[in-house]
C-alpha cells in the first residue's frame, strides 16, 4: 500500500473517532443563547461531542447536543420558550464553549452559511474543527488538536502540548502554540506536488505554498511537521528557521527535493527517488523507499538506511557524520564494507540486494538486528566502522583498520583484524580473535567465551573463560607506507571540557599524517549498571612530516563523573593514520586531570 494511501486511511480513521455524532453519556448543553447575530452553546463539564451543521430542511443551523432547556436541535436559546432558530445565510457567528472534559467540537458549514466560528475547548484534551469561514479556535489547557479548515483562521493552542493542523485546501492561518511543546502539522496535496518554503519572520515562522492553491501560515510552535503526501514535492528552509522550530519533513510518494533548515531537522524521503539535504544543524535523514541522494550539509548528521530501502548515495559533507544501516529484523544479512577510491562502498548481496555509495562521512554503524548476520570490513583507512550483530549467531570480520564490533545475543565469531579495535561479545558463547600485534580491547560478556590475543602489554581483556596469549614467533607483515604518529604521554590538564594532546608526524613519513585520534577509558568502567570501555571524544588531524600539533579534543558530557573525587582519569589515546590499503596505528596511556570536587560535610 502506498504511503499516501496509508496516511489517508489513518486520517479517515482519526476523523471517524473524533467526529462521531453520538453524544457521550451525561454530555449536554448547560445553556444557550442568541444575542444579535451571535449564537452560543455552553456545554457542561463532561466529554462533549458537538457537531453544528446545516439542516437539510429549512436552511437553518442545527446542533446535535441536548439539555439546558433547549427544545430541539434547531433551538439556540435555552431561556426563551419555543425554538429560536438561526438561519444558515452567512449572517450569524457561532460560538461553542466546551468547558471541562475532552471535547470534540466541529462546525460543518461554508462561508456563505456562517459569518465566523469561535470554538473554545476549555480544560481537557480537545479536538476542535472550524468551518470554511474566518474562525477563532482556542484549545485551552490540555493536549489539543486544532483544525482551522477553510478561511483565514486564528488558532491558539493554550496550555499543553497541542497540534495545530493545516490540511490541503485550507486558508492562510495564524497559529499560536502558546505554552507547552506544540506542533504545527501541514498536510499537502494528496496527488500533486507542492512547492513549500519556510523562513523566519519577526521571531516566528512563515510557511508558504507558492503553487496550486497558494497559502501562507504565520506560526509560533516548537515543532513543525510537513507531510508532502503524493506528487513531486519540494521544500526549502531559509537560515534562521532552525532557531525558531524543530523541522520534520516527510516527502511521501513522489520524487521529492528537500532542503532543510540551519537547525536539527528530521527528513524522510518516502517513496520515490528523492534528494534530501540537511543544511545546517545535526540532522537525521532517512531516504526511505527509492534510489535517494542524501546530503548532510554542515553539522554532525546521521544518514539512515532501513531494511526495505533501495540503493542510495550518502554524502555527510562538513561535520562529523554517521551512516546508520539497519538490516533485516529476522533474516540474516550479509554486509560488506570496502574502499571505493576516495569513497566507501557498502553492499548487501543477499535478501533484497542494495548498495550505498558513501562519501565525506566519518563513521558507520551497521546493525544486523535479527538472524545470523555476517559483516566484513576491508581496509577503509580512518573511516570508523561499528558492526553490531544483534540477535543470532553472527560473524564479524575486520580488515587493517580500527573497528568496533558488538556481538549481541547469540554465539558470535569476531575477528577484527589489524588496527586498534574494540570488541564486545555480549551474551552467548563467543569466539574472539584479536591477535594482530596491535593494541585492542576485548570484552567477553555473558556466556562461555574464548579469546586469542596478543601479550598483556598490548591487549586489554575482560570476561573470557578461555584466554590464549601464546607469543607468535613471526609477526604479521606491516604496511610501511603509512607512518604512525607519536602521542605525548603524561598528564593532560582539561580546561572547559577540552583536552589538549600533542601529536607528532615522523620526519620519515612520505607524506602528511592524516587520520583521527580517539580517547577511550583505559579500562572498562561501570556506568548505569553496565561495564564497558567508553569513548570520550575524538579529533581528526593532518600534520606535515616532522611537524607537531596540539589537538583540542572535546570530551563527552559526563566525563568528569568518571574521574571520582581525585579528578584524575586514566585513558588510552588511539591514533589511526593513513587511507584505504595503508593504515598505521599508535596509542598512548594518558592521565586526564579534570579537577577535584568539593567534599560535602
Count of domains observed in the chain: 1
Q: Is 449 helix (H, G, I), strand (E, B) or coil?
A: coil
The answer to whether position 440 is within a domain reads no
Three-state DSSP state, 15: helix
Give the single-character DSSP code of 410: S
Provide the 10 A C-beta neighbour count for residue 542: 10
The answer to whether the beta carbons of residues 107 and 97 sit under 8 Å apart is: no
* DSSP run (H or E) holding 17: helix 3-18
Within a domain: 586: yes
pLDDT score recorded for residue 600:
40
Q: What is the pLDDT of residues 321-379, one digit of tens each?
A: 999 999 999 999 999 999 999 999 999 999 999 999 999 999 999 999 999 999 999 99
**Bridge partner residues of 384 (DSSP):** 363
Cβ pair 151, 135 in contact under 8 A: yes
Most confident of 15-24, 86-95, 528-537: 86-95
Residue at grid coordinates 520524487: 255
pTM, two decimals, is: 0.78
- Alpha-carbon span 382 to 399, nearest angstrom: 12
pLDDT of residue 527: 67
Whole-angstrom Cα Rg for the chain: 31
**Could you give the CA distance from residue 13 to residue 300 in angstroms, rounded to a whole number?**
38
- What pLDDT is recorded for position 479? 46
* Interior angle at CA 537, CA 531 and CA 539, nearest 5: 150
Q: Beta strand 384-388 with 403-406: parallel, antiparallel or unpaired?
A: parallel
Q: What is the DSSP string of 579-593?
A: ETTEEEEEEEEEEEE
- Give bridge partners of residue 19 from the DSSP assignment: none
Q: What is the pLDDT, as a whole number, of residue 581?
A: 58
Residue-wise pLDDT for 3-57, tens only, equals: 333 333 333 333 332 222 333 444 589 999 999 999 999 999 889 999 999 998 8
Q: What is the mean pLDDT of residues 286-314?
A: 98
**315-318 long-range CB contacts below 8 Å, 24 or more apart?**
315/358, 315/359, 315/360, 315/361, 316/358, 316/359, 316/360, 316/361, 316/362, 317/360, 318/360
Quick one: pLDDT at residue 578?
80
Q: Is 243 left (phi over 0), alpha (psi -120 to 50) or beta?
A: alpha
Nearest residue to 123 (alpha-carbon basis) of 145, 147, 148, 103 = 103
Does 350 reside within a domain? no
**Confidence category of residue 448, pLDDT binned at 50, 70, 90:** very high
Is residue 551 a part of any domain in this protein? Answer: yes
Distance between CA atoms of 111 and 511, rounded to whole angstroms? 74
The pLDDT value recorded for residue 91 is: 97
Share in percent of the chain as helix, strand, coil (round to 5): 5, 45, 55
Q: Mean pLDDT check: name the lowest of 108-122, 170-184, 529-543.
A: 529-543
Range of the domain at 553: 486-593
* pLDDT category of residue 194 using cuts at 50, 70 and 90: very high
With beta carbons less than 8 A apart as the criterion, state whether 65 and 40 touch: no
Q: Which pLDDT score is estimated for 511?
A: 86
**366: β partners:** 325, 387
Residue 275 clears pLDDT 70, i.e. is over it: yes
Identify whether 444 is part of a domain.
no
- CA distance linking residue 501 with residue 336, whole number of Å: 34
3-state secondary structure of 356: strand
What average pLDDT does range 567-583 have in this prediction?
A: 82
570: domain CATH number is 2.60.40.2550
465 belongs to a structural domain: no
- Lowest model confidence (mean pLDDT) among 97-101, 142-146, 449-453, 566-570: 566-570
In a domain, 179, yes or no: no
Mean pLDDT (whole number) for 439-447:
95
- 11 against 566, higher pLDDT: 566
Residue 1 confidence (pLDDT) above 60: no
**The Cα angle at residue 500 between residues 499 and 505, in degrees rounded to 5:** 135
pLDDT at residue number 558: 78
Give the CA distances from residue 546 to residues 418, 501, 508, 509, 511, in Å, rounded to whole numbers and listed in that order: 26, 17, 7, 8, 10
The pLDDT of residue 480 is: 52
| pLDDT band at residue 557 using 50, 70 and 90 as cut-offs | confident
Q: Which residues contact 369 (CB under 8 A, 6 or more apart)?
A: 307, 326, 327, 328, 329, 330, 333, 390, 391
Which carries the bigger pLDDT value, residue 291 or residue 530?
Answer: 291
Q: Residue 476 — very low, low, confident or very high, per pLDDT cuts 50/70/90?
A: low
d(CA 526, CA 534): 10
Q: What is the pLDDT of residue 528?
A: 61
Q: Residue 529: which pLDDT band, with cuts at 50, 70 and 90?
A: low
Q: What is the pLDDT at residue 465?
A: 97
Report the pLDDT averaged over residues 165-173: 98
What pLDDT, on a 0 to 100 scale, did the predictor assign at position 597?
A: 57
Whether residue 493 lies inside any domain: the answer is yes
**Mean pLDDT within 559-569:** 84
Amino acid at each position: 500500500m502506498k504511503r499516501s494511501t496509508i496516511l489517508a486511511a489513518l486520517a479517515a480513521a482519526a476523523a471517524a473517532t473524533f467526529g462521531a455524532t453520538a453524544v457521550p453519556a451525561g454530555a449536554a448543553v448547560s445553556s444557550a443563547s442568541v444575542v444579535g447575530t451571535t449564537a452560543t452553546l455552553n456545554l457542561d463539564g463532561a466529554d462533549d461531542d458537538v457537531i453544528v451543521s446545516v439542516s437539510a430542511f429549512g436552511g437553518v443551523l442545527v446542533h446535535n447536543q441536548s439539555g439546558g432547556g433547549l427544545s430541539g436541535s434547531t433551538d439556540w436559546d435555552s431561556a426563551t420558550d419555543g425554538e429560536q432558530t438561526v438561519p444558515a445565510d452567512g449572517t450569524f457567528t457561532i460560538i461553542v464553549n466546551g468547558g471541562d472534559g475532552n471535547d470534540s467540537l466541529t462546525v460543518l458549514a461554508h462561508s456563505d452559511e456562517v459569518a465566523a466560528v469561535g470554538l473554545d475547548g476549555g480544560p481537557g484534551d480537545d479536538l476542535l474543527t472550524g468551518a470554511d469561514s474566518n474562525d477563532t479556535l482556542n484549545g485551552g489547557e490540555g493536549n489539543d488538536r486544532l483544525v482551522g479548515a477553510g478561511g483565514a483562521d486564528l488558532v491558539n493552542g493554550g496550555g499543553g502540548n497541542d497540534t495545530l493542523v493545516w490540511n490541503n485546501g485550507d486558508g492562510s492561518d495564524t497559529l499560536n502554540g502558546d505554552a507547552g511543546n506544540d506542533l504545527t502539522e501541514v498536510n499537502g496535496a494528496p496527488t500533486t506536488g507542492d512547492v513549500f518554503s519556510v523562513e523566519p519572520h519577526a521571531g516566528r515562522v512563515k510557511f508558504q505554498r507558492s503553487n496550486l492553491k497558494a497559502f501562507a501560515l504565520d506560526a509560533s510552535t516548537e515543532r513543525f511537521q510537513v507531510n508532502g503526501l503524493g506528487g513531486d514535492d519540494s521544500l526549502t528552509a531559509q537560515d534562521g528557521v532552525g532557531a525558531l522550530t524543530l523541522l520534520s519533513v516527510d516527502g511521501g510518494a513522489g520524487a521529492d527535493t528537500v532542503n532543510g533548515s540551519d537547525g536539527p531537522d528530521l527528513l524522510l524521503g518516502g517513496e520515490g527517488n528523492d534528494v534530501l539535504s540537511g543544511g545546517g544543524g545535526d540532522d537525521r535523514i532517512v531516504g526511505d523507499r527509492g534510489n535517494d541522494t542524501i546530503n548532510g550539509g554542515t553539522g554532525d548528521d546521521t544518514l539512515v538506511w532501513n531494511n526495505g530501502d533501495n540503493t542510495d548515495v550518502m554524502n555527510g559533507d562538513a561535520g562529523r557524520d554517521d551512516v546508520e544501516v539497519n538490516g533485516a529484523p529476522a533474516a540474516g544479512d550479509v554486509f560488506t564494507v570496502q574502499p571505493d577510491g576516495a569513497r566507501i562502498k557498502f553492499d548487501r548481496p543477499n535478501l533484497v540486494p542494495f548498495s550505498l555509495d558513501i562519501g565525506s562521512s566519518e563513521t558507520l554503524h551497521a546493525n544486523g538486528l535479527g538472524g545470523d548476520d555476517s559483516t566484513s570490513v576491508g581496509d577503509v583507512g580512518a573511516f570508523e566502522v561499528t558492526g553490531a550483530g544483534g540477535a543470532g549467531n553472527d560473524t564479524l570480520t575486520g580488515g587493517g583498520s580500527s573497528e568496533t564490533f558488538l556481538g549481541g545475543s547469540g554465539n558470535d565469531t569476531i575477528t577484527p583484524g589489524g588496527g586498534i579495535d574494540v570488541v564486545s561479545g555480549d551474551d552467548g558463547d563467543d569466539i574472539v580473535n584479536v591477535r594482530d600485534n596491535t593494541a585492542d580491547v576485548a570484552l567477553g560478556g555473558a556466556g562461555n567465551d574464548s579469546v586469542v590475543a596478543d601479550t598483556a602489554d598490548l591487549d586489554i581483556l575482560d570476561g573470557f573463560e578461555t584466554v590464549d596469549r601464546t607469543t607468535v614467533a613471526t609477526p604479521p607483515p606491516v604496511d610501511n607506507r603509512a607512518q604512525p604518529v607519536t602521542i605525548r604521554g603524561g598528564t593532560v590538564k582539561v580546561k572547559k571540557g577540552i583536552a589538549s594532546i600533542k601529536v607528532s608526524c615522523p620526519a620519515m613519513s612520505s607524506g602528511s599524517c592524516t587520520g583521527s585520534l580517539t580517547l577511550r577509558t583505559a579500562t572498562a568502567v561501570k556506568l548505569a549498571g553496565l561495564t564497558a570501555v567508553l569513548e570520550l571524544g575524538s579529533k581528526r588531524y593532518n600534520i606535515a612530516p616532522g611537524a607537531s600539533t596540539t589537538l583540542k579534543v572535546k570530551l563527552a558530557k559526563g566525563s568528569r563523573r568518571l574521574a571520582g573525587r581525585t579528578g584524575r582519569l586514566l585513558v588510552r589515546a588511539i591514533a589511526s593514520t593513513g587511507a584505504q590499503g595503508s593504515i598505521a596505528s599508535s596509542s598512548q596511556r594518558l592521565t586526564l586531570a579534570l579537577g577535584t570536587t568539593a567534599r560535602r560535610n
